[in-house]
Structure 1
């Protein structure tokens, strides 16, 4: 037995040993993530930056834009008294510094300005900027998660993927098309029609995000209260949400409020996944594999996020009506995928893609898609057996 007088010395010794173990044995505290918002001077870019400035998970928020006034946006945001540090990068020459040594890069802007604006015009408006961003990431930070929220994501995600493949640094987990606004709109319209609270509704989406590409999986909505009679009406409302708002704006503004919140929510989910949280699930436009990949090489599906980006993706079970809608949407999505890939590979596009024919013509072409329908049949049978 030790004498009582020895107790204080023993306690001091234990305290010293504990401090030494904390200093030399415990792993260092991980550095808070760094997030870059590209095209931060755009309307949606400013809103996204404002929302992310309030995110306690972000250590540093970088704002990049070719326009030098991005420094004013950054200074304005810096006055918000949150822990997130804000830095600005103005001009093409500093894009490499904006994307270097960051965890997440988010490309926003280039939103649809008119309900009559075609996929092809949107692609031509945004492709050069997104390609430049991709090339800089390939050279200076290929391991960052690249989140694309510029339309049409159905063409830009494949284009970026081809650039990464060409450079030999492709990782399908890291290139993500943000489609969260589609789920958000679906939740709202379902709640509005059924009399529920939008916050209580969860509806997954598949296909794409653009008009005539998005299919809401109403059969898997939680809580399950959607009656068959209202399905066509709700699908139409969800698919035409952006165009309806543009018409209310008299085609003089972009729809950027709800998309900005959707982007910020997705980034927040991605940040939680990076720190190790396990229940990080959303819908996103990503590369597909297996039977799903035979049907569509890229598609919006349910994704689980992890430390390295996409951990897994899967198709929800869909009804016959939803399968029919997805087959129609697949014709348009395939053309958009081809549009994006051919921009890198140099292939000549079919005239119907170049001219961006009407959705009706593209849907009629679905009858000739025997291979796609066959592959999709395999997906359905696989889901039924599962």
Structure 2
């Protein structure tokens, strides 16, 4: 039923794919006449983790950031900040250590990024990751609600399929919910899809653009290979590419062993997304990415949250679109929707009281 709907209605529901194609053919972002701000404040939460350090290093070089704030409970974040401050770019570095100063790291920030807590073992499921990362995400959410509800809150902690709905429900309870400003960064899936499409088709991966829908974890993502640009992939290779993307993270975890988590490709994809959002905040147009966000319209009836093609604007998500998909991709999305719904329920039910997971750091924060 779901797959038939997607295929039958792709002309009505998914007709706005052209905006994605225009962006992913790498046109310049054109500034509008009403751009009102040139430099921005970005806060990275859990910045002393490996992926946090890499994202901070990349964003330190961004010409759009006036001040880069690094926050972590671990005091090693101060060392990371000191090291980064030696890099001769205009971006200023500030460090914040300890739960009690989290609010200062978030106040007046244009973008807040929650990252880290990546998979380090092959058997870590969505529920395990949710419980592991819950404290940090919820604490950040509560501080954003109280001290900076207008910030664009970007979530890159897994599972984003559960945390985006959870954060949304918390913002609703706080009376400051704006679906445009809560974004799950899933661009690493697009990066991997570009790579595997290029490998199969013999193209330059930097020239390939392949959208991803559904989610970001291996059971949730669907690569829309039929809509990749340039179009040089035979239909018989679509399943190979889909399967390769699904196990890409597992393969790297196997190679790393006990040495750490997958962080290089995700760090670069996160920094690219943030830079695109910063361009949109400056008023530039044609800033398009893939992200896990709140859905509306026909798709919202089936999946209230999912990865889709989004156009970014001054307030976060300007619009959300779905690409056209073929029968095989519709079948994959139908299968993925079951896992996505489970993750959405996992996140939402925690806020509604059905989940009995104790947020340890929240108790500490209340006392302080």
* Pair 1:335 & 2:336 matched: no
Structure 2 counterpart of 1:260: 267
Distance in 1 (CA, whole Å) between partners of 2:327 and 2:218 is 21
Tell me the TM-score normalised to structure 2 length.
0.86
Q: Does the CA-based 8 Å contact 1:115-1:251 persist in structure 2?
A: no
Distance in 1 (CA, whole Å) between partners of 2:266 and 2:36 is 33
Give 1:231 deviation, angstroms: 1.2
Q: Does the CA-based 8 Å contact 1:56-1:84 persist in structure 2?
A: yes
Q: Does the CA-based 8 Å contact 2:185-2:292 persist in structure 1?
A: yes
* Pair 1:102 & 2:101 matched: no
Matches within 5 A, 1:269-348: 269-347=276-354
Structure 2 counterpart of 1:145: 152
Give 1:348 deviation, angstroms: 5.6
Which string of whole-angstrom CA distances, capped at 9 and with x for unpartnered residues, describes residues 220-244 of structure 1?
Answer: 0000111011111111001111111
SS, match of residue 86 in structure 1: strand
Structure 2 counterpart of 1:83: 90
Work out which of the residue numbers 171, 174, 196 in structure 2 matches 1:167. 174
SS, match of residue 37 in structure 1: strand
- Higher alpha-carbon deviation: 169-178 or 243-252: 243-252
Which string of whole-angstrom CA distances, capped at 9 and with x for unpartnered residues, describes residues 241-286 of structure 1?
Answer: 1111111112542000000000000000000000000010000000
Q: Does the CA-based 8 Å contact 2:276-2:287 persist in structure 1?
A: yes
Matches within 5 A, 1:115-194: 115-194=122-201
Structure 2 counterpart of 1:355: none
Work out which of the residue numbers 212, 232, 241 in structure 2 matches 1:205. 212
Distance in 2 (CA, whole Å) between partners of 1:249 and 1:86 is 31
Flag as ranges the 4+ runs of structure 1 deviating above 4 A: none
Between 1 and 2, higher relative CO (CA 8 Å, sep ≥ 6) is seen in 2
Which string of whole-angstrom CA distances, capped at 9 and with x for unpartnered residues, describes residues 65-105 of structure 1?
Answer: 00111111101000000000000000000000000011000
Q: Does the CA-based 8 Å contact 2:194-2:208 persist in structure 1?
A: yes
Which string of whole-angstrom CA distances, capped at 9 and with x for unpartnered residues, describes residues 323-369 of structure 1?
Answer: 000000000000000000011101269xxxxxxxxxxxxxxxxxxxx
Work out which of the residue numbers 236, 244, 251 in structure 1 matches 2:251. 244
Q: How many residues align structurally?
A: 323
* Pair 1:43 & 2:50 matched: yes
Matches within 5 A, 1:22-33: 30=37, 32-33=39-40
Distance in 1 (CA, whole Å) between partners of 2:125 and 2:317 is 30
Unmatched 5+ stretches in structure 1: 1-26, 350-386
Give 1:127 deviation, angstroms: 1.1
Distance in 2 (CA, whole Å) between partners of 1:30 and 1:287 is 27
Distance in 2 (CA, whole Å) between partners of 1:292 and 1:69 is 44
Structure (1 or 2) with the larger CA radius of gyration: 1
What is the alpha-carbon root mean square deviation over aligned residues?
Answer: 1.4
The 1:28–1:324 alpha-carbon spacing in structure 2 relative to 1, beyond 3 Å, is closer
Tell me the TM-score normalised to structure 1 length.
0.82
Task: Choose between structure 1 and 2: higher helix proportion.
Answer: 1
Q: Does the CA-based 8 Å contact 1:35-1:103 persist in structure 2?
A: yes
Give 1:30 deviation, angstroms: 3.4
Distance in 1 (CA, whole Å) between partners of 2:51 and 2:293 is 22
Which string of whole-angstrom CA distances, capped at 9 and with x for unpartnered residues, describes residues 283-325 of structure 1?
Answer: 0000001110011000000000000000000111100000000
Distance in 2 (CA, whole Å) between partners of 1:219 and 1:147 is 29
